[in-house]
Structure 1
Amino acid sequence: MPNTEYLKIPRERVGVVIGKQGIVKEEIENATKTNIEIDSETGSIAISPREDTEDPLSVWKTRYIVKAIGRGFNPEIALKLTSDDLILEIINLPDYVGKSKKAVLRQKGRIIGKDGRTRDIITDMTGVNVSVYGKTVAMIGDMERIHIAKEAVEMILKGARHKSVYAFLEMKSRELKIKEFHSIAKEENKLL
Structure 2
Amino acid sequence: MPNTEYLKIPRERVGVLIGKNGITKDEIENLTKTDINIDSETGSISVSPTEATEDPLAVWKSRYIVKAIGRGFNPEISLKLLSDETLLEIINLPDYVGKSKKAIMRQKARIIGKEGRTKDIIIDMTGVDISIYGKTVAIIGGMEQIHIAKEAVEMILNGVRHKTVYAFLERKSRDMKIQEFHRIAKDETDIT
> What's the TM-score once normalised by structure 1's chain length?
0.99
SS at match of 1:160: coil
Say how many residue pairs are matched: 192
Aligned to 1:144: 144
Instruction: Give the letter for the 1:121 counterpart.
Output: I
Instruction: Give the letter for the 1:154 counterpart.
Output: E
Aligned to 2:89: 89
SS at match of 2:45: strand
How do 1:61-100 residues align onto structure 2 when only pairs under 5 Å count? 61-100=61-100
Residue identity (%): 78
> What's the TM-score once normalised by structure 2's chain length?
0.99
Instruction: Give the letter for the 2:184 counterpart.
Output: I
CA shift digits 1:34-57 (9 cap, x unpaired) = 010100000000100111111001
Residue 179 (1) aligns with residue 155 (2): no
Instruction: Give the letter for the 2:159 counterpart.
Output: G
SS at match of 1:106: helix
Separation of aligned partners in 1, 2:142 and 2:24: 24
Residue 130 (1) aligns with residue 124 (2): no
SS at match of 1:84: coil
Separation of aligned partners in 2, 1:120 and 1:26: 31
Note the residue ranges of structure 2 that are not aligned, 5 or more in a row. none
How do 1:1-192 residues align onto structure 2 when only pairs under 5 Å count? 1-192=1-192
CA shift digits 1:24-76 (9 cap, x unpaired) = 00010011010101000000001001111110010011110000000000000
TM-fit CA distance, 1:117: 1.1
Note the residue ranges of structure 1 that are not aligned, 5 or more in a row. none
Detail structure 1 runs of 4+ shifted over 6 Å in the superposition: none
CA shift digits 1:76-107 (9 cap, x unpaired) = 00000000001100000000001110000000
CA shift digits 1:161-183 (9 cap, x unpaired) = 11110010000000000000000
Instruction: Give the letter for the 2:126 counterpart.
Output: T
